Chain A
Amino acid sequence: MSDAIPEFRKAEATEVGITGSALTSGVGARTWSEVAIIVAVAIVVIGGLEFVLWWREVPDYIFPRPSLIAAALVKEFPLILPHLGYTLVTLFAGFTIGAVIGMVLAAVVTQYPLVEKVITPYILVLVTTPMLALVPLLILRFGFGYTPRIIAVALAVGPMVMINAATGFRRTDSAKIALARSYGATTLQMFWKIRAPMALPMILVGLMIGSIFGLLTAVGAEMVGGGFGLGNRLTTYSSMINMPEFFAVILLLSFIGILIYITFFLIGKKWASWQT
């Protein structure tokens, strides 16, 4: 265990790419006039789209007008709703499994530099390979139910969480560890009171990126095989050339994505704002 004081080594900043501040530096509306402008622009964009599509007589099967999409969403919603549920179950289960494994692995592995060096290439392979590619294989082995999808999502989320969390756990600040040690902190206290809070901003970044990757993988897996989920709706509607319904599902998917982003943004604001 690297609990001994790393004597006099300066804190090693080993952040690559995105840092924790990415979580808290998002843009949000501040005042009512800003809100008004944002709403006005949205109306102009959607209205403009509606107008152009109507004026140029773009056929519905190429790009349906926003009003048609809205109508389809309302009409089909009772039919789509269960599929939304299936997708969320897949996403949530896969995300939880992947995130927990990723975080635990990161916490353990960063304590043993050699182990970390050995397994990092494999994690990188897992991060960079689209887990979607494994879905047909997983379906062969596990059938068309939830199992292959949840595994694919967990495989997409886990490595992403792990690699970011590991960056966080590696940020040992020797002065802070010395501080805790000077009060006789145990290894466990050192972890929960120093290492974990120090890693939290990066863990949150990992969870956010991981959950977005998880959503992609979940929908992709549903498109590849099986008779349920929003991804399955997409293939069904497009094969029937029901474009307004198709776009209504896409709208729902972006809504989920934005919801995920906002959730992590708010968590980051509450728990990781000390970073900046």
Chain B
Amino acid sequence: MVAKLAIRDAGKRYGDLDALKGCTFDVADKTIVSIVGPSGCGKTTLLWSMSGLHSLTSGEIDLDGQRITGPRPEIGLVFQEANLLPWRNLMGNILFPFEVKGQKPDMDWIAHLMERVGLTGFEKRMPRELSGGMQQRGSIVRALSLRPQVLLMDEPFGALDAFTREEMNRLVEEIWLETKTTIVFITHSIEEAIFLSDRVIVLTTRPGRVLADYPVNLPRPRSLETMASREVFDLMNRIKADIYGMSSTRSRTAAE
């Protein structure tokens, strides 16, 4: 399959600190790929580079074979913590991208998305009047309203409670089943990564490189039973071992 996104030897230095180095992998079209890795290993750096908000200091990232040099309309971004503008109501937030681009919004599509995420009727609410989960759903609608081909999500549900988080995971899968938007998903939760993804990529400690790349061949939509299967259990333990292995080598080298 042809790669939607190609990350080629991506590297990013902040001063004399290598945040990311020699990171290479592909994201196939219409798939969900999760990225997990120890804190501070460069996940956000990588995602922001994919979105064109950051430039790399070495290597490149291509979208459909074309190098990404700045923000692209084909790429949507969902931030950690919903990042709604507090002075606009929900609909004002969802229409914000259209205002900036001077583009006419597709109101039917937006209404459909609002319905899909269960926000119909909340259009006039201010962000502070919405729960954290609702805010994040709003930000997903905002990102999807432009019909991006790629959706980048940086720990979007990290701040939510476990229940809401599971609900949001199901929602992301449903949306994906409907739109087949290519999704790159960063998370600290291995379970969340497995539940959502077709592939889970494990990054090393800083500077981030690909340590392991696991395909997740589970039927969709995924259910509690799938998640309780032997296969998932094994995979979860392998990823945990990867991450734990890194932290123990690090503490060992630190102790020496």
In the complex, the answer to whether A7 meets B54 with C-beta atoms within 8 Å is yes
Q: Does B105 contact A (CB under 8 A)?
A: no
Hey, what's the 0/1 contact readout for B70-96 against A, CB within 8 Å counting as 1? 110101010101010111000000001
Q: Does B252 contact A (CB under 8 A)?
A: no
Identity of the chain A residue whose Cβ is nearest the Cβ of B77 in the assembled complex? A182
In the complex, the answer to whether A184 meets B44 with C-beta atoms within 8 Å is no
Q: Does B128 contact A (CB under 8 A)?
A: yes
Q: Does A200 contact B (CB under 8 A)?
A: yes
Contacts of A275 in B (CB 8 A): 86
Of the candidates B52, B54, B128, the one whose C-beta lies within 8 Å of that of A274 is B128
Of the candidates A178, A193, A197, the one whose C-beta lies within 8 Å of that of B99 is A193
In the complex, the answer to whether A197 meets B85 with C-beta atoms within 8 Å is yes
In the complex, the answer to whether A175 meets B83 with C-beta atoms within 8 Å is yes
Instruction: Known contacts A181-B53, A182-B77; decide if A176 and B14 are in contact (CB<8 Å).
Output: no
Q: Does B126 contact A (CB under 8 A)?
A: yes
Of the candidates B54, B79, B97, B127, the one whose C-beta lies within 8 Å of that of A175 is B79
Hey, what's the 0/1 contact readout for B88-112 against A, CB within 8 Å counting as 1? 0000000011011100000000000
Q: Which of B51, B73, B86, B128 has the most CB of A within 10 A?
A: B86
Q: How far is the CA of A31 from the CA of B205 in the complex (A)?
A: 60
Instruction: Known contacts A5-B53, A274-B86, A274-B128; decide if A183 and B81 are in contact (CB<8 Å).
Output: no
Of the candidates A8, A181, A274, the one whose C-beta lies within 8 Å of that of B71 is A181
**Chain B: minimal CB distance from A271 (Å):** 8
In the complex, the answer to whether B71 meets A184 with C-beta atoms within 8 Å is yes
Q: How far is the CA of A182 from the CA of B79 in the complex (A)?
A: 11
Contacts of B100 in A (CB 8 A): 180, 183-185, 189, 193
In the complex, the answer to whether B126 meets A7 with C-beta atoms within 8 Å is no
In the complex, the answer to whether A175 meets B128 with C-beta atoms within 8 Å is no
Chain A, 95-115, CB within 8 A of any chain B CB: none
How many of chain A's residues have a CB under 8 angstroms from any CB in B? 22
Hey, what's the 0/1 contact readout for A1-17 against B, CB within 8 Å counting as 1? 00001011000000000
**Chain B: minimal CB distance from A237 (Å):** 47
In the complex, the answer to whether B83 meets A176 with C-beta atoms within 8 Å is yes
Identity of the chain A residue whose Cβ is nearest the Cβ of B89 in the assembled complex? A274
Identity of the chain A residue whose Cβ is nearest the Cβ of B14 in the assembled complex? A7
In the complex, the answer to whether B44 meets A183 with C-beta atoms within 8 Å is no
Hey, what's the 0/1 contact readout for A187-209 against B, CB within 8 Å counting as 1? 00100011001101000000000
In the complex, the answer to whether B53 meets A178 with C-beta atoms within 8 Å is yes
Instruction: Known contacts A193-B96, A200-B87; decide if A182 and B44 are in contact (CB<8 Å).
Output: no
Q: Does A71 contact B (CB under 8 A)?
A: no
Point out residues on A near B: beta carbons under 8 Å.
Answer: 5, 7-8, 175-176, 178-185, 189, 193-194, 197-198, 200, 271, 274-275
- What 5 A-B pairs are tightest by C-beta distance, nearest first? A274-B86, A183-B100, A183-B97, A197-B87, A274-B87
Point out residues on B near A: beta carbons under 8 Å.
Answer: 14, 44, 48, 51-54, 70-71, 73, 75, 77, 79, 81, 83, 85-87, 96-97, 99-101, 126-128
Additional pairs, 9, CB under 8 Å, beyond known A175-B81, A189-B100: A175-B79, A182-B52, A183-B71, A183-B97, A183-B101, A184-B73, A193-B96, A274-B128, A275-B86
